């Protein structure tokens, strides 16, 4: 079967080359509010009386309940993303990564690995959705002999799980290189696959030079 995909090649000059390190990865613990306490008022006691008195009747006013407003739909196209051939991408801030990870345990684990390994990061989305994503990256470090240039230490291939149409996938690009503030993982190619694969997804495959 012919494999259909959409691919884009990213220019290195368009993406930041800083490494992604996490010195601490706080996970906000959910706060549980106490349930309201219900207090019962004492029942009235009956007293004997020579004359009968009419009980006062109270009419309860009907209470109106407001319908909850529907959640706003996600904005499209996503703000701050670049686009080419129906594929959207951007390099998110560390703060954005941590906010997304607060509701995603697998992403939280991936971020913790960046204490040990040099990592990159990227967010991707597609108009039609993807069966899986394939992201190729270069692992680079400054060239001591030529200021402003970089040496390629190796190549990283990252496979990412299914994403629905217009769903933003947040990806940690974990290399096989020990963490260093001078090492950067820079995405170079993003592919949105439309067919199934027999490879393990998600996965990171690093080949050093």
Q: What is the pLDDT of residues 2-27, one digit of tens each?
A: 344 555 666 543 444 445 665 433 33
CA 110 from centre of chain: 11
pTM to 2 decimals? 0.69
- Residue range 138-167: average pLDDT? 96
Kindly list the domain boundaries of the chain, sorted by start residue.
5-23+81-208
Nearest alpha-carbon partner for 125 in 87, 85, 159, 160: 87
- Residue 37 pLDDT grade (very low, low, confident, very high; cuts 50, 70, 90): very low
The two tokens of residue 185 are 């993982």
Rounded to whole angstroms, the Cα distance separating 197 from 5 reads 12
Compute, in degrees rounded to 10, the torsion defined by CA atoms 79, 85, 87, 88. -20
Contacts of 190 (CB under 8 A, 6+ apart): 7, 8, 10, 87, 89, 122, 124, 133, 134, 135
């Amino acid at each position: 079967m012919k494999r259909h995909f959409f691919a884009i090649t990213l220019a290195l000059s368009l993406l930041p080359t800083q490494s992604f390190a996490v010195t601490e990865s706080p996970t906000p613990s959910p706060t549980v509010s106490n349930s309201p306490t219900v207090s019962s008022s004492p029942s009235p006691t009956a007293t004997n009386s020579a004359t009968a008195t009419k009980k006062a009747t109270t009419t309860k006013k009907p209470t109106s309940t407001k319908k909850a407003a529907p959640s706003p739909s996600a904005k499209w196209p996503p703000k701050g993303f670049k686009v080419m051939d129906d594929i959207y991408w951007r390099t998110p801030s560390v703060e954005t990564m941590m906010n997304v990870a607060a509701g995603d345990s697998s992403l939280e684990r991936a971020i913790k690995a960046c204490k040990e390994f040099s990592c990159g990061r990227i967010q991707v989305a597609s108009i039609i959705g993807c069966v899986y994503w394939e992201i190729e990256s270069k692992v680079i470090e400054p060239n001591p002999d030529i200021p402003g240039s970089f040496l390629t230490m190796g190549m990283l291939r990252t496979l990412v799980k299914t994403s629905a149409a217009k769903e933003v996938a947040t990806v940690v690009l974990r290399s096989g290189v020990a963490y260093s503030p001078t090492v950067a993982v820079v995405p170079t190619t993003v592919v949105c696959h439309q067919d199934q694969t027999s490879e393990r997804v998600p996965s990171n495959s690093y080949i050093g030079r």
